[in-house]
Structure 1
Amino acid sequence: MSFSQGLSGLNAASQALDVVGNNIANSQTIGFKSGSISFADVFAGSQIGMGVQVSGVRQNFSDGVLGQGTGSLDMGIQGNGFFRLVNQAGQVFYSRNGQFKTNENGYIVNDTGMLLTGYQASGTPPTIQPGAAIGPIQIPTEQMPARASDSGSMKGNLDSGAKIIDPELEFDPKDSNTYSSVNKIDAYDSLGNRHEINVYFVKTADNKWKVYTNDSTAEVVDGAGKVQYQEIDIAFDSAGQLTTKPARVPIVGAAYNGAEALGFELDITGMTQQASETAMESPSTSGYAPGKLNGYTVGNNGQIIASYSNGQQQPLGQVVLANFTNAGGLASSGNNAWTETPSSGQPVVGIAGSGNLGNLYGNKVEASNVDLSQEMVNMIIFQRNYQSNSQTIKTQSELLQTLVNLG
């Protein structure tokens, strides 16, 4: 019996060393989860055991340390959850390895070609709709289309001590004596052409002003060729607060280079009048020129944000995570991936940070959670165990040899 006991011990110790060796070999594998072996004794109708057997190899899904990523699509998870991947055949896999890149078609893939899944942004401008169909995320490489300006705002202060302009003088942008100050803002038409808009302020009386605008890039003219200016009257109270509310001055431009005519309202409700120099904050308008893709980043909520040459940003998609009631029941499939089994339960899929899902960090990767110091200690222990079991076999052999010699 000692031979079978010792042999079972040798086999168990050998398999334990295999687990330790695999852990050590993958100590630098991104997203790797270490394993630990479990043993069980063997009895067969006797109080003397028949030896030992391996009852299973458990996986340790504790977090690995987050390190700096090397690619713009690198991601790391802390807490519960796995990246959800699909292969070309549509089979679903789960992984903690967050090293991703794009393939020739713009899809986000890992090094084995599996596609990362999540929500794809859609619409104009693109938006992400959580709860939509989950599928492979694609990074579009075409340029961002232009958007025409349809709103704008300007804030600032008008000098209450400014000279009142003679009402007999007709407003003329070429004559600085006919206005108190001028400011410029940029706007964009439907093709992304930039238009320079002039905004003139004319003080007509104490606390009273006129505001004129014109599109100097594509001026609007009447039948006689005279430039047309848009205008409104505004007034302030004795405390310098605007009493004309809402105060919106039209911005109108002629059709330019094949684009639609420009037309929107500039909100100047935030203007004040104080005894200080006229000064304007940076005005803003919606709309932008077309832009080429400069790059993209992954936010901590899993959103993939693209940056364009026109200074704009927009979401392209959002990565989802999957979690299981019993992650230890997942089946290892190699290549740093697992597959669902009846023991793991069905996946719960959602956005990082929601429910019991962990957090996702962009430009980070999760290191292996192997503790090399502990593995070296385990290796020594299992080596001693192997030697001890071999010694029981040797001792049994010597006893048999003694019996043979007696005969």
Structure 2
Amino acid sequence: MSFNISLSGLNAAQKDLDVTSNNISNANTYGFKESRAEFADVYASSIFSNPKTKVGDGAVTSSVAQQFHQGAMQFTNNTFDLAINGNGFFALSSDVNSSDLVYTRAGNFKLNKDNYVVDNQGNYLKVFPVNPDGTSASAALSTAQSLQVPDSVGTPLATSKVNINLNLPAGDSGYDVTKFDPKDSSTYNNATSVTVYDSLGQSHTMTTYYVKDAAAAAPNTWAAFAFVDGQPTSIANAGAPPYTYTDAGGTSYNGYQLNFDTSGQPGTPPTVPSTITTAALGSVLTNGADANQTIDINYQNQTQYADAFTVNSIDQDGLTVGRLTGVEVGADGLVRASYSNGTTEPLGRVTMVRFANEQGLSQAGNTDWKASTESGDPLAGEAGTGTFGNIRSGALESSNVDLTQELVDLISAQRNFQANSRAIDVANTLQQNILQIR
């Protein structure tokens, strides 16, 4: 009996050594969670035995329990290095559209050849779909999709509106509007330009020229003319009678009038609306873009003060095709891509998963776990909500192994192994003595 008892002790000590050695070997493995060997005594009895004199039958390994406490943060310069500060797991799939998921705390992700975010084994990181404003469209695990980072925004957006906020100098001298020539700066007072885009994303320069009308009955009257890529563009709602510009070929183009009162504010009523619209730009757009494109020029708080010509703001709503310039992941898991055209696009929200019993998860290797009947079903959610932790981009969670404690455990397991070996040796000596009795 003593042989079996000591042998069970040897097996338990060996299991303890194995678990401790595995912890030590993974001390530098990202997302690794240490294990702890847990033992129980073996006690067998029957109704015919005396419990007061019954001796136990040794030790047995009852569980190798994973310890899911937080590991230290290691900061990096890689946006796709993600760490969870708190509870939760990342969800991964082996195929782009697979619903067979594994779960991990190791966030050392990267882009594959198709611009999908994957781990070192090629598993795809799952995210929840989001609306254009970044709000979550769904937080159900069944709707999670693989995260892909596109390298362009896609369809360009033609300019439909230009907003201008400016001051025209009240002290400027007037000119003869009929002699206006955009190539001769002595025939106009000021000009301002803005880049606009056609339906194909091609950029064009829209220039607006301002001429103070010396012949106008009201002293605070200005003529304005719009040009795109140096070609005159007629104004569709210029009012009557409009100012006109005639090119060298004899074609006339409508300009428009800006009038101000004695306080430097737009006249009441203004000669033309605060928003004026160009005619179709077909004669300018020769690259196959939409020939019916028009642009609204919207004047916002224009003034005529005794100050220099000042453009307080000028912007437009068109976009060219953008190229990827960067990706950022927020603490709430929202992934945003930035593009060269100045736009940002939400790509998804990193899927977070938790379990009622983390220690019931089945190890799948490569610091991955799978759900089991003991762990319970995966509960999905968003980072920073409920009991889910936050996500830190540019950081990795190190192993939670405490090397000092592991070395102490190693010594303790070694002593236990030696003690059980000694017990076997003593039992063997006693049996030898008995066999030698004559």
Fold shared per TM-score above 0.5: yes
Could you tell which deviates more after superposition, 268-277 or 54-63? 268-277
CA-CA distance at 1:275 after TM superposition: 4.0
Query: Per the alignment, in what secondary structure is the counterpart of residue 138 of structure 1?
Result: coil
Q: TM-score scaled to structure 1, two decimals?
A: 0.85
> Which residue of the partner structure matches residue 28 of structure 2?
28
Find the aligned partners of 2:212 and 2:56 in 1 and give their Cα distance.
105
CA-CA distance at 1:270 after TM superposition: 4.2
Of the candidates 40, 63, 69, which is equivalent to residue 56 of structure 1?
63
**1:98-149 CA distance string (max 9 Å, x none):** 1223334433222212222113578xx8977521732222333467332211
Find the aligned partners of 2:208 and 2:364 in 1 and give their Cα distance.
66
Query: Per the alignment, in what secondary structure is the counterpart of residue 416 of structure 2?
Result: helix
Of the candidates 291, 294, 298, which is equivalent to residue 267 of structure 1?
298
8 Å CA contact 2:175–2:211 kept in 1: the answer is no
Could you tell which deviates more after superposition, 136-145 or 259-268? 136-145
State the one-letter code of the partner of 1:377.
Answer: V
> Which residue of the partner structure matches residue 48 of structure 2?
none
Could you tell which deviates more after superposition, 310-319 or 95-104? 310-319
CA-CA distance at 1:333 after TM superposition: 1.0
- Report the CA distance shift for 1:50/1:259 in structure 2 as closer, same or farther (over 3 A): same
CA-CA distance at 1:259 after TM superposition: 0.7
Of the candidates 162, 165, 170, which is equivalent to residue 155 of structure 1?
165
8 Å CA contact 2:334–2:346 kept in 1: the answer is yes
- Report the CA distance shift for 1:195/1:339 in structure 2 as closer, same or farther (over 3 A): same
Find the aligned partners of 2:278 and 2:409 in 1 and give their Cα distance.
76
Find the aligned partners of 1:84 and 1:242 in 2 and give their Cα distance.
60
State the one-letter code of the partner of 2:70.
Answer: D
Of the candidates 75, 84, 92, which is equivalent to residue 91 of structure 2?
84
CA-CA distance at 1:56 after TM superposition: 0.9
Q: What is the aligned-residue identity percentage? A: 36
> Which residue of the partner structure matches residue 390 of structure 1?
421
State the one-letter code of the partner of 1:191.
Answer: L
Query: Is 1:374 aligned to residue 405 of structure 2?
Result: yes
- Report the CA distance shift for 1:121/1:103 in structure 2 as closer, same or farther (over 3 A): farther
8 Å CA contact 2:129–2:138 kept in 1: the answer is no
Find the aligned partners of 2:261 and 2:29 in 1 and give their Cα distance.
68
State the one-letter code of the partner of 1:118.
Answer: V
Query: Is 1:97 aligned to residue 106 of structure 2?
Result: yes
Query: Per the alignment, in what secondary structure is the counterpart of residue 351 of structure 2?
Result: strand
State the one-letter code of the partner of 1:24.
Answer: I
> Which residue of the partner structure matches residue 140 of structure 1?
150
Query: Per the alignment, in what secondary structure is the counterpart of residue 152 of structure 1?
Result: strand
Matches within 5 A, 1:286-301: 286-294=317-325, 296-301=327-332
**1:152-197 CA distance string (max 9 Å, x none):** 32334443x4325257756543454554321111100001121111
Query: Is 1:214 aligned to residue 245 of structure 2?
Result: no
Query: Per the alignment, in what secondary structure is the counterpart of residue 28 of structure 1?
Result: coil
Query: Is 1:226 aligned to residue 251 of structure 2?
Result: yes
CA RMSD of aligned residues (A): 3.3
Find the aligned partners of 1:300 and 1:208 in 2 and give their Cα distance.
55
Q: TM-score scaled to structure 2, two decimals?
A: 0.80
State the one-letter code of the partner of 1:18.
Answer: D
Query: Per the alignment, in what secondary structure is the counterpart of residue 263 of structure 1?
Result: coil
Could you tell which deviates more after superposition, 182-191 or 392-401? 392-401
User: Which runs of 5 or more structure 2 residues have no equivalent in the other structure?
Assistant: 46-50, 235-245
8 Å CA contact 1:83–1:321 kept in 2: the answer is yes
8 Å CA contact 1:162–1:203 kept in 2: the answer is no
Query: Is 1:117 aligned to residue 126 of structure 2?
Result: yes
Query: Per the alignment, in what secondary structure is the counterpart of residue 185 of structure 1?
Result: strand
> Which residue of the partner structure matches residue 44 of structure 1?
44
Find the aligned partners of 2:72 and 2:301 in 1 and give their Cα distance.
50
> Which residue of the partner structure matches residue 241 of structure 2?
none
Could you tell which deviates more after superposition, 339-348 or 139-148? 139-148
CA-CA distance at 1:356 after TM superposition: 2.2
State the one-letter code of the partner of 1:226.
Answer: T
8 Å CA contact 2:118–2:124 kept in 1: the answer is yes
Find the aligned partners of 1:81 and 1:236 in 2 and give their Cα distance.
65
Find the aligned partners of 1:31 and 1:390 in 2 and give their Cα distance.
36
Structure of greater Rg: 2
Query: Is 1:5 aligned to residue 8 of structure 2?
Result: no
> Which residue of the partner structure matches residue 247 of structure 1?
274
Find the aligned partners of 1:230 and 1:375 in 2 and give their Cα distance.
83
